[in-house]
Structure 1
Amino acid sequence: MASAALGLAGLGTAQAAAAVNGASREENLKPSLSKTDFKLKYAPHLGMFRHSAGEDPLDQLNFMADRGFTAFEDNEIKGRTTALQESMAKVMADRGIVMGVFVAHEIYWTEPNLASGDAALREKFLKEIAESVEVAKRVNAKWMTVVPGHVDLRLNMAYQTANVVESLKRACEILEPHGLVMVLEPLNFRNHPGLFLAESPQAYQICKAVNSPSCKILFDIYHQQIQEGNLIPNIEACWEEIAYFQIGDNPGRNEPTTGEINYANVFKFIHSKGYQGILGMEHGNSRPDKAGEEAVIEAYQKVDTW
């Protein structure tokens, strides 16, 4: 600060004081506004930083890169125009951002589809998977989210499981030649009652039955905290079938440090396993303003330190 004061010698006292105070404010802001070198590939989504970057998806991607994020996910990118998909892919390639998951098919939240064994519903699912291959190529994605839908209350669970496994095997025949991976996401009973796939051991069993590099687990830490808890032991038990993580604290489903999950320890464990994949930030912001967006970044800075 002494050298800065010397450079202000020609200013009046009030002007010099204002300039020094301004410089101090700039210095105080630099640590939080600088680009963070995160240890893991945390992936924001569109809208998470709209107050800071504006509504344009490309500006939002550039903001993410400027702040140190090296991955991105967009559940809805399949429904965006081809031109926008291509523009987003170019920004990601230019800025060193890896594309994460998108939703590969229509999810049946209240009625059975894959669990039922219905041939027409299976063919519809497979057609949507084939369409998602083209989207994945366009946006340089490797992973796509699959949710097997609602349970079929008229069928024994063993039959339902066999039906789901058969559909996923057929999907893998489409995905494997392209090196693409569908990640099965178990969802908790509270937010999504009645879904076929709810727990990580169940997802593990299905992946083992399908037996393909194109069928793996999306371990959503928020969902599994509610559904089963015991996070680190369950991650360890499922490790060889996990290809992707998603994040959200509980309660609230907002950024880490706002709930009960010790994300610093969870991330430390995942990092210790040599994980090189993506951790999708599939959560809201605890504060709906620009300051809240900075709070999200600061939360990740905090839990990424160990």
Structure 2
Amino acid sequence: MLRRNFVKSTLGLAGAAVAADNAFANQPAPTAKNQFKLKYAPHFGMFQNKAGKGVIDQLKFMADNGFMGLEDNGMMGRPVQEQEAIAKEMTRLGMEMGVFVVDKGGNGANTLAAGKQEYIDIFLNGCKKAVEVAKRVNAKWMTVVPGDFERNLPIGVQTGHVIDALRRGAEILEPHGLVMVLEPLSDSPNLFLRTSEQTYEICRGVNSKSCKILYDIYHMQKNEGRLIYNIDKTWSEIDYFQIGDEPGRKEPTTGEINYKNIFKYIYDRSKKENKSFIMGMEHGNSQTGAEGEDALIKAYVESDAFKV
């Protein structure tokens, strides 16, 4: 399920797995069909025609094809037993957990920009609940969407309210080694968080290792363009990437974004700095059925075939 289906009704907290000290740990097994250079993370349902409906079978299919991460926006709504089974199988396969979304949280009706205590309490309670799920599924990064503008307030006051609330959220996450990654979105002009530079400024204001940027390449192509330039300028605050081509929000090669160049930039700089990123595949399939799933894998093989 894509984030645009959640932002209208949730604050959107999500997790990703703990980064290894080596930026290129958790590589595909030698027997995997594809040896990707980056850690791409599909979501359940993306390969259900070829792998079957079962989540464990889908995880095995992902790993067999070289995808070493997972995103699952609905993870918090799964029974605890299923969460534990998914985490156990991912550990066995050497996969890392990506995005999940909390089932209750802020939205346009209770935005953090308003500075209201009842809205802040919803956000903080969401952080506390997400910590428990993160522990259960071996997650680290938690994505936060602050909600809509509060247009009767000056923008600087709104920004101050958001920073204050995020500092309190960071206080909850930091003792557990968790990081909330703020995601600027393009779904609606009413959304408070819109660009990478704005998100960078807020992260610097929060001034916590538990508050960083989720750079969704699809959304940022729509909102600001100059992708590699803006990734470079905000790099120090980026902890997570998501993928989707524009227009259409489908797999790479289906739109206007040169993903091979972007992936190469991220790979080269990550290797130089010994960093690690999960590359969340938060997009749909451009074609239906098993043929569409084959086409999706082919698109990632092509986009990952940059020179190192």
- Which category describes the TM-score, using the shorter chain as reference length? 0.7 to 0.9
CA contact (8 A) 2:107 2:146 kept: no
CA gap of 1:168–1:213, structure 2 versus 1, over 3 A, is same
Tell me the amino acid that sits aligned with residue 152 of structure 2: R
In structure 1, what is the Cα distance between the partners aligned to 2:33 and 2:110? 46
- Pick the structure with greater CA Rg: 1
For 2:232, which of 230, 236, 245 is the aligned residue? 236
Superposed counterparts of 1:180-259, under 5 Å: 180-188=178-186, 191-259=187-255
CA contact (8 A) 1:34 1:67 kept: yes
User: 1:59, CA displacement in angstroms?
Assistant: 0.9
In structure 1, what is the Cα distance between the partners aligned to 2:162 and 2:103? 14
User: 1:163, CA displacement in angstroms?
Assistant: 0.5
Tell me the amino acid that sits aligned with residue 45 of structure 1: H
Where structure 2 has 5 or more consecutive residues not aligned to the other structure, the ranges are: 1-30
- Residue of structure 2 equivalent to 1:20: none
In structure 2, what is the Cα distance between the partners aligned to 1:267 and 1:122? 36
User: 1:107, CA displacement in angstroms?
Assistant: 5.2
Matched length: 272
Comparing both structures, which one devotes a greater share of its residues to helix?
1
- Residue of structure 1 equivalent to 2:10: none
1:231-270: CA deviations, max 9, x gaps?
0000000000000000000011000000000000000000
Tell me the amino acid that sits aligned with residue 171 of structure 1: G
Runs of 4+ in 1 over 3 A off after TM superposition: 104-110
- Residue of structure 2 equivalent to 1:264: 260
1:180-200: CA deviations, max 9, x gaps?
011100001xx2230000000
User: 1:54, CA displacement in angstroms?
Assistant: 1.1
- Residue of structure 2 equivalent to 1:19: none
User: 1:124, CA displacement in angstroms?
Assistant: 1.4
SS of residue matched to 2:212 = strand
In structure 2, what is the Cα distance between the partners aligned to 1:271 and 1:277? 9
In structure 2, what is the Cα distance between the partners aligned to 1:106 and 1:235? 31
1:208-240: CA deviations, max 9, x gaps?
000111000000000000000000000000000
CA gap of 1:125–1:108, structure 2 versus 1, over 3 A, is closer
- Residue of structure 2 equivalent to 1:170: 168
In structure 2, what is the Cα distance between the partners aligned to 1:151 and 1:228? 18
User: 1:101, CA displacement in angstroms?
Assistant: 2.0
CA contact (8 A) 2:106 2:122 kept: no
CA contact (8 A) 2:106 2:112 kept: no
- Residue of structure 2 equivalent to 1:17: none
- Residue of structure 2 equivalent to 1:67: 65
TM-score (norm 2): 0.86
CA contact (8 A) 2:149 2:192 kept: yes
Where structure 1 has 5 or more consecutive residues not aligned to the other structure, the ranges are: 1-32
- Residue of structure 1 equivalent to 2:26: none
Matched, 1:300 2:300: yes
In structure 2, what is the Cα distance between the partners aligned to 1:103 and 1:290? 27
User: 1:104, CA displacement in angstroms?
Assistant: 4.0
In structure 2, what is the Cα distance between the partners aligned to 1:180 and 1:304? 29
Tell me the amino acid that sits aligned with residue 284 of structure 1: G
Percent identity reads 55
